[in-house]
Every structure is written in structure tokens, then in C-alpha cells.
Amino acid sequence: MELPPLKSKLWQQAKAYIKLPEDGSQTAVEVPEDWADRSEPWLLLKRKAECAVRFKHPEPGTSFLYDDWMKG
């Protein structure tokens, strides 16, 4: 499978995504100059996605009653 050119919109979006601040930070992430030339630029994207995706569990007492939570 052939990848799109490095100046394509897809690569620009990928770089913008990698630059997003990490969880709990306001500072943009430094992206290496050669990030797209590396053998596996997808690893940077995968790592970022794993750090960014969080599941927010409901809290007893706000989303449902504590007694309901205790019952399961």
C-alpha cells in the first residue's frame, strides 16, 4: 500500500494530532523533525491515541443512587 505524499492533508492532520497536549498539560508536544520519515510514524499516532483515550466511569451518587450501585 502506497502512503500519501508527506505534504498531504492526512499527514498535516496526523502531525496536528500528535502535537495536542498530553492529559493534564497545556503545553503542545514537541514533534521530531523527521517524525514522518521514520520507519514507523504510526507508532507515534498509536501511542498518542492510547494516552488520549480515557473512559470516564460514572460516580455513585451522581449518575445513579449509591444503593443501586451497591446492588450491582
CA neighbor of 41 nearest in space, from 71, 70, 8, 72:
8
Q: Please report the pLDDT score of residue 61 as a whole number.
A: 66
Q: Which one, of 32, 28, 54, lies nearest residue 44 by Cα?
A: 32
Q: Mind listing the pLDDT tens digit of every residue in the chain (72 residues)?
A: 677 887 889 888 988 988 888 877 788 888 888 877 766 788 888 888 887 777 777 776 677 777 877 887
